[in-house]
Amino acid sequence: MAMLPRLLTLLAVMTASACVPLGPSEDEAAREAELAIRSLMAGWESGDRAIVEEIFRPDAVYDDFPNQHTYQGVQEIAGYVLALHDWADDVYFNVVAVHVTRSGAVAEWVFSAVQARPIGSDITVATGREVTGNGVTIIEMEGGLIIRAADYMDTQPLMLQLGGRIEMPGGSVIELDAR
């Protein structure tokens, strides 16, 4: 019988400790992830370095899958995001949908901009053309900040909209028009 009071005390302690939250609730984590991905897209649109630096962990990684490059650390990531404004004006990102997961979020977006300056050594003239494209950005969160992000976008339509041509084996050519 002496064991029964100890068992009851142990059971009471276990029950009480099971009711104590161990971290942010799933709702809080979901809100945090949605806010982070919407802030990231706002950073892309505005070119505001402070937004980008505020939402990423210092050791974060950003995978740019269309260009097969990985940016490591918040400074490289900010440079990647802000580089869009080196060549584009009137940048706009329409976030079509956000899907929240347990550890992050996914944003589906439509992008538009005007190519007002050369794009590195690939496109050495300013075409003045508006370009549009759609893509997906995935983020993983840790400690309230983005630890990893990845972009997925088909860049072929963008190049075609800027007047590029794709020469296929066999001689056929893909191009939008002869502007």
21 pLDDT above the threshold of 50: no
Can you read off the two tokens belonging to residue 22?
Answer: 């161990």
Q: What is the pLDDT of residues 22-61, one digit of tens each?
A: 455 778 888 999 999 999 999 999 999 999 999 999 999 9
So what's the pLDDT on residue 92? 97
Least confident range from 2-11, 27-36, 162-171: namely 2-11
So what's the pLDDT on residue 121? 84
At the topology level, CATH places domain 24-165 in: Nuclear Transport Factor 2; Chain: A, (3.10.450)
Cβ-based burial of 9 (10 A; exposed 0-12, middle 13-18, buried ≥19):
exposed
Q: Quick one: average pLDDT of 56-78?
A: 97
Q: Which residue has the tokens 């370095």?
A: 49
So what's the pLDDT on residue 81? 96
Dihedrals phi, psi of 71, to nearest 5 degrees: -100, 130
Q: Between residues 178 and 30, which one has the greater pLDDT?
A: 30
Residue 24 near residue 145 (C-beta atoms within 8 A): no
2 pLDDT above the threshold of 50: yes
Among 108, 111, 134, 117, smallest CA distance to 45 is for 111
CA dihedral 119, 125, 128, 130 (to 10 degrees): -40
The domain ranges of the chain are 24-165
Amino acid symbol at 133: G
Q: 145-153 and 130-142 as β-strands: parallel, antiparallel, unpaired? A: antiparallel
Q: Which SS3 state, helix, strand or coil, does residue 33 take?
A: helix
16 pLDDT above the threshold of 50: no
Among 64, 40, 72, smallest CA distance to 54 is for 40
